Amino acid sequence: MAFGFIKKVFSFGKKQAEEQPADTPLPADIEALKALKPADEAAAIAETPSAPAEGPAPETPPAPPAIPEPEPAPQPVPPEKPKPEPAPEVPETEPEKPAEQPAPTPSPAEPEPAPAEVPVAPQEPSAPDLPEEIPSPPETPATAPTMHATAPEAAAAEPESEGQQPVADAADDVPPAEIPAPLRQLEPIAAEPLRDEIAPEPSAVPQPTPARAAGKVTVSKKVEQKAEPAAPAPQAPRQSWFQRLKSGLARSSKELGDNISGVFTKSRLNEDIVDDLEEVLIRADLGMETAIRITDTLTSGRYGRQTTEADVRRIMAEEVEKVLAPVAMPLELDLSHKPHVILVVGVNGTGKTTTIGKLAAKLTEGGLSVMLAAGDTFRAAAIEQLKIWGERTNSPVVASKLGADAAGLAWDAYEKAKEAGSDVLIIDTAGRLQNRAELMAELEKIVRVLGRHDADAPHTVLQTVDATTGQNALNQVEIFRNVAGVNGLVMTKLDGTARGGILVAIAAKHRLPVYFIGVGEQVDDLEPFSAGDFAKAIAGVE
C-alpha cells in the first residue's frame, strides 16, 4: 500500500453473460432527437461556409428542397378585389400577422450557430378545394392565421418583411389555408438522416402507420382511422449481442464456408488445395500472416488425407482466436489523472460519437463522473448528437460554435473537467480521412494542446474502425496511430454486414488492444471484445 499516490484503475471488462432481451437504457427523448437531427443537418450545410474544409460528411445531405419559384403565380392576389366569393373559412384572428419571415430554426441551447432555416417544398402544393391555388410566391399577400406555423413572436417583431403585405388584403382575397407558407419546417426529410445519426431507442421508434382496420375512418384533410387502432404488434425479442455479432459476420463466414467447400471438393489435401485455401482466407481480409498460420496448422500431418470443411472451420477458429487473444483487453482508466482524458478519433462515420455515448453510459453507470467535449466542431449535427448523449448519460457537454477551433475546445474542456472534478473527459473529434493532411495536423494539435495540461494526456486515444470497411481499415489504423497516438481500438458495426476478417489482420499487424465492439446503435450495444466469441462467429462454428 502506498501512501500519497494511489493509482486507481477501473476496468471495464466482460459483462455478465446474460443478455437482456430488450434494451431499456437511460430515458431519452428520441423523438426530440429526430426532430433535431435533420434541422441540424440542414443548418450545418447552410452555415458551414467558414467551417474548415473537410471531406464530405458521411450523411446524405438533405435533399435540396424544391422551392416553388416565384413563377407566374396564376392567382396572385391583387390588391383590388375582383373577388368572386368570400373566403369561407378564414378565421378572423390576427389579421395583421405579417407573412412569413425566415424563421431561424429554434436552436436548442448553447451558443450554437443559429441553424438557418431551410426553405422546404410545400407539403401539399394543391389544396383540395381550390384546385388552381398555387404555393404563394414572395409577393403573395401574407399568410393568414390558420396558416402554417410562422413564429408569431418573430412576426410581431418584424411586421414588415420584404415582399409581404398586410394580411387584411389576403384575408379578403385568398382563403388563407391554401397558401403554403414558404417557411415550412423541413419535417419531410427528418426521418432518414436522423436514423443515420442517432440510434433510436426501441420504444421511441415511430411505428409505421398501422394498416387500416375495418372500423370507421374520418375523411377530412385525409383519411384517418376513427378509433380502435390496431393493437401494436408485439415486439420481437431482441437478439443477444452474440447473435447479432454472428449474423453480422454471417456473410464473411458463409463466403468463407462456400469458398472452402469449393476448395475441398473430392481431393485429398495437396499443395494446390492449400494454395487455394490460402487465397480464400486472404480474400476474407484475414491477412497473409493469419492465412498462413491457418494453412500451416491444417496441413501439418494431413497431406494426402481427406479433410473436411468442418476441419478447416475448427482450425480457423482456433488460429484466429490465437491471433486475437492478446489484443482482447479490458479498457483501463488511470484515475490518478483527473480527468482521465479519452480522445476518440477515426474516419467519418465510423461511429465515434455513438461509441462515446455508449461508453459514457457504461462509465456513469459504474459511478464515474464523465464530461463530454464536442470536438467535432465541423458538423452541427455532431454537436447536437453529443449533447443528446450527454443528456442521456447525465454527462455535461462542453461545446462551442460550429467551425470553432477544435484544439481550443479541447483545452477549455480539460479546464472545465478539472474544475468540475470529473473522473473522465471524453473528447469527440471530427471524422477525417487519413489522407487529409491538414485535418490530421489539426488532430495532432489537439493532442499537443492536451499535453500542456497534463503531459500524459490524452491518456487513452481510441480509434473507431468500421467493421464494414475492408483493407482500407489497416491503413486508417496505421496513420491515426502515427498522428494521434492511438492506443486502443473499438470495432463498430459488427452487427451489420460486417467484414470482420479485417480485425484479425489489424490485430496481427498493429497489436493494439481492442477494447470493445459495437453491435448496434443503442446505448448498451457496446460489448467488451472477446477473441473466442469473435473467432467462432467468423469461422461459423458453434
Ligand X SMILES: Nc1nc2c(ncn2[C@@H]2O[C@H](COP(=O)(O)OP(=O)(O)OP(=O)(O)O)[C@@H](O)[C@H]2O)c(=O)[nH]1
Closest CB 58 distance from ligand X, rounded Å: 5
Is 430 assigned to a binding site? Answer: yes
Compute the distance between CA of residue 335 and CA of residue 341 in angstroms, rounded to an integer. 10
Choice between 117 and 525, CB closer to ligand X: 525
Choice between 295 and 348, CB closer to ligand X: 348
Compute the distance between CA of residue 75 and CA of residue 178 in angstroms, rounded to an integer. 12
Is 428 assigned to a binding site? Answer: yes
Closest CB 356 distance from ligand X, rounded Å: 8
Closest CB 358 distance from ligand X, rounded Å: 8
Is 429 assigned to a binding site? Answer: yes
Choice between 117 and 521, CB closer to ligand X: 521
Is 350 assigned to a binding site? Answer: yes
Is 81 assigned to a binding site? Answer: no
Closest residue (Cβ) to ligand X?
A: 431
Residue 109 grid coordinates? 441551447
Q: How far is CA 111 from CA 135, 356, 380, in A?
A: 35, 22, 11
Is 353 assigned to a binding site? Answer: yes
Choice between 315 and 410, CB closer to ligand X: 410
Is residue 446 within 8 A of residue 343, CB to CB? The reply is yes
Is 494 assigned to a binding site? Answer: yes
**Contacting residues for 148 by C-beta, under 8 A, at least 6 apart:** 180, 181, 183, 184
State the residue for C-alpha cell 474502425.
465
Is 118 assigned to a binding site? Answer: no
Is residue 390 within 8 A of residue 523, CB to CB? The reply is no
Closest CA to 42 of 149, 112, 115: 115
Choice between 293 and 358, CB closer to ligand X: 358
Is residue 313 within 8 A of residue 260, CB to CB? The reply is yes
Choice between 354 and 530, CB closer to ligand X: 354
Helix axes 501-510, 472-484, angle to 10 degrees: 40
Query: DSSP assignment, residue 518?
Result: E
Compute the distance between CA of residue 158 and CA of residue 152 in angstroms, rounded to an integer. 10
Residues contributing to the site for ligand X (CB under 6 A) = 57-58, 196-197, 199, 346, 348-354, 376, 379, 382, 431, 464, 492-493, 495-496, 518-521, 525
Choice between 319 and 527, CB closer to ligand X: 527
Closest CB 381 distance from ligand X, rounded Å: 8
Closest CB 542 distance from ligand X, rounded Å: 24
**What per-residue string of b and e applies to 212-230 under the rule 16 or more CB within 10 Å gives b?**
eeeeeeeeeeeeebeeeee
Closest CB 102 distance from ligand X, rounded Å: 28
Sheet holding 397-398, edge to edge: 397-398, 370-375, 424-429, 340-345, 460-466, 488-492, 514-518, 526-528
Closest CB 244 distance from ligand X, rounded Å: 9
Is 349 assigned to a binding site? Answer: yes
Bind-site residues? 346-353, 428-432, 492-495
Bind-site residues for GTP? 346-353, 428-432, 492-495
